């Protein structure tokens, strides 16, 4: 076997069911690459609970924020 065989050459050596698997996987890779990349998380919310820091502990703020998210 040569070190660098083309995909076409390799495909001819596979049975039809595995050829289909290779095609499906290649299609999956193409679709995955075509999807837009997720944007990085922005921290624009940092300090958004500052007004509550004198009234609540950090744990209480965390619990309250989870409740607010659920509303």
**What's the pTM?**
0.45
pLDDT tens-digit readout, 6-61: 989 999 999 999 999 999 999 999 998 888 777 787 878 788 878 877 888 888 87
pLDDT of res. 18: 96
State how far the Cα of 8 lies from the Cα of 10, in Å rounded to an integer. Answer: 5
18 in Cβ contact with 26 (< 8 Å)? no
The better pLDDT of the pair 50, 2 is held by 50
Q: Which of 45, 48, 71, 43 is nearest to 61 (CA)?
A: 48
Please check the confidence at residue 3 and state whether its pLDDT lies above 70.
Answer: no
pLDDT of res. 71: 57
């Amino acid at each position: 076997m040569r070190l660098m065989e083309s995909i076409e050459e390799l495909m001819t050596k596979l049975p039809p069911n595995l050829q289909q698997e290779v095609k499906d996987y290649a299609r999956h890779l193409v679709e995955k690459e075509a999807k837009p990349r997720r944007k990085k998380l922005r921290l624009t919310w940092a300090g958004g609970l500052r007004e509550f820091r004198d009234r609540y502990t950090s744990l209480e703020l965390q619990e309250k924020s989870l409740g607010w998210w659920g509303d």
